[in-house]
Amino acid sequence: MAPDTPVRAPRPRKARTAGGKVRGPSPSLTVRHGIGFTRNPCASLLRLHAEAGPVAVVGTRRMPFVHLFGPDANAFVFANSGLFRWREAFDLLVPVNGETALIVSDGADHRRRRRLVQPAFHHRRVAGYVARMAANTDAALESWRPGRTLDAYAELRGVIRRSTVEVLFGDRLAADSEVIGRRLQVALAAVDRNFVLQMVLRSVPNPYMRRVAESRALVTRRVDEEIERRLREGGEYDDVLGMLLASRDEDGAGLTRQELQDQVISLISAGYDTTSAAMAWAVHALLAHPEAEERARREVAEVVGDRPVEAADLPALEYLDGVVNETLRLFPPAVLSARVPVEDFSYGGYRVPAGAMVFYSPFVTHRMPEVWPQAGRFRPERWDRSSALYRPTTPATYLPFGGGPHRCIGSTLATVEIKTMLACLLRRTRLSLVSPAATPTSVTAMRPRGGVPVRVLG
pLDDT tens across 107-141, in order? 889 998 898 888 878 888 888 899 999 999 999 99
In this structure, which amino acid lies at residue 374? Q
Q: Please give the C-alpha separations between residue 128 and each of 133, 160, 180, 311, 409, in angstroms, as whole numbers.
A: 10, 16, 24, 7, 17
**In sequence order, what E strands does 354-434 have?**
357-360, 431-433
Q: What's the CATH architecture for 15-456?
A: Orthogonal Bundle (1.10)
- The model's pLDDT over 33-59, given as tens digits with 9 standing for 90+, comes to 988 888 889 999 999 999 999 999 999
The confidence score (pLDDT) of residue 160 equals 94
pLDDT score, position 205: 83
Residue ranges with strand state E in 70-125: 84-85
Greatest pairwise CA separation for the chain in angstroms: 68
> Which regions of the chain are under pLDDT 50?
1-19
For residue 6, the model assigns a pLDDT of 34
Single-letter residue type at 10:
P
CB distance 112 to 147 below 8 Å:
no
Other C-beta atoms closer than 10 Å to the C-beta of 223 total 22
User: How many angstroms separate the CA atoms of 447 and 334, rounded?
Assistant: 10
Please report the DSSP string for 127-145 in residue order: HTTHHHHHHHHHHHHTT--
What are the Cα distances from residue 222, in Å, to 35, 179, 213, 219, 285? Answer: 40, 10, 14, 5, 37
What pLDDT shows up at residue 195?
66
CA distance 231 to 236: 10
The values of phi and psi at residue 298, to 5°, are -65, -40
**408 marked as binding residue:** yes
Domain edges within the chain? 15-456
The DSSP secondary-structure symbol of 13 reads B
